[in-house]
Amino acid sequence: MVFLLIFAFAFYIVGGYFGLPRAIRSAILVIFYIALFFVHLVLPDGHLFRAQTGNTFAPWAIIGGFVVLIVIYRFCLRQLRTHAEKKNTNEKVSSDFVFGPAELDRYARHIVLREIGGPGQMAIKKARVLVIGAGGLGAPALQYLAASGVGTIGVIDDDVVENANLQRQIIHQDRAIGTPKVFSAKSAMLKQNPFIHVKVYNRRFAEDIAEILFADFEYILEGSDNFETRYLANKTAHKLGLPLISGALSQWEGQISIFNSTKAGPCYQCVFPEAPAPGLAPSCAEAGVFAPLPGVIGSIMAAETLKMITGAGDVLCHEMLIYDALYGETRKIKLLKRDECPVCGNKA
């Protein structure tokens, strides 16, 4: 009897070592056990085989009972584990639509604002915002969108962090020099707020992906440094009916406006029909930029986005806000729609 037990155990272990599936090994042992039962049932008392296997089947029945209990225990344990994993998954999914204690505490200053409150903060949590550019304007905008609890934030940029960026692009750190800006920005945002989702696109914003990319988001922040990107973002946002929050910088002055075709207002190309001639709109590298200026304009871009999400106050549609940091002045100008605009005009 002991020999048979050792043989069965050795067969199970060696079979596993050589890759024989557990189900097959178990089935063979079960067949062997059933055959042993019938042998004891058929052979008379005192038979040599019965003597070699314990004379009676009672010890084998006890062993079989223990094995059955172990199998039942493992089965129940597996079912409980599966149920627990399913419950955790459901809780994780549902947590996207409720606030945990840590989030309630984090967003308390928003929730107590009459214009935002709990419903407004939930709208922020459910919002999907894309930021084009993780540079001067994108850096503060991304930080405040993340800190405010925007549920899904996308950022697209093909640039890497350079030493010269750190004078104003405060989302990036010195140790991130040489790192793609989108990954540096994602790391900073998640360290600031682990309750959000960040999607990164480490590539240049181009026409072949514009519509597919925009379709995943509800609000577009455009903070690039070139007119090609601005015109493409404007055309795509207008086509898909998405609000475009656009900002720009030059030396001491910044500007911001919201172009929203659903509000029957002008688009970006209504205001800037053509890109300026080379040299008339120098880049920050050529003309310089006051370090805090991107922070001011980028923060306003984030503020206007959050106001649109929550429906709080009035937003900068049909007008442009201009901020002069050198003299501490702000002014607004009205923006008019152009009938001849190739994007949103009557002839478009």
User: Could you give the domains of the chain?
Assistant: 2-95 (no CATH), 101-334 (3.40.50.720)
> End-to-end distance of the chain based on CA atoms, in angstroms?
92
Query: Tokens for 140?
Result: 């503060």
Least confident of 34-43, 98-107, 117-126, 246-255: 34-43
41 pLDDT tier (thresholds 50, 70, 90): low
Element holding 321 (H helix, E strand): strand 319-324
Mean residue pLDDT across the chain: 86
Rounded to two decimals, the pTM is: 0.71
- 154 neighbors 129 (Cβ within 8 angstroms): yes
- 233 neighbors 258 (Cβ within 8 angstroms): no
33 pLDDT tier (thresholds 50, 70, 90): low
Q: Write out the E strands in the chain.
A: 128-132, 152-156, 197-201, 219-222, 244-250, 253-259, 319-324, 329-334
* Per-residue pLDDT at 94 exceeds 50: no
251: left (phi over 0), alpha (psi -120 to 50) or beta: left
Q: Write out the E strands in 172-303.
A: 197-201, 219-222, 244-250, 253-259
* Per-residue pLDDT at 306 exceeds 60: yes
* Per-residue pLDDT at 225 exceeds 90: no
Percent of the chain whose pLDDT exceeds 90: 63
Instruction: Using only the alpha carbons of the chain, give its radius of gyration.
Output: 34
* Contacts (Cβ under 8 Å, ≥6 apart) of 300: 247, 256, 321, 323
Instruction: Please compute the mean of the pLDDT values over residues 50-78 and round it to a whole number.
Output: 70
From CA 54, how far away is CA 148, in angstroms rounded? 75
Number of H helices, E strands in the chain: 14, 8
* Per-residue pLDDT at 201 exceeds 80: yes
**pLDDT at res. 29:** 67
Percent of the chain whose pLDDT exceeds 70: 77
92 pLDDT tier (thresholds 50, 70, 90): very low
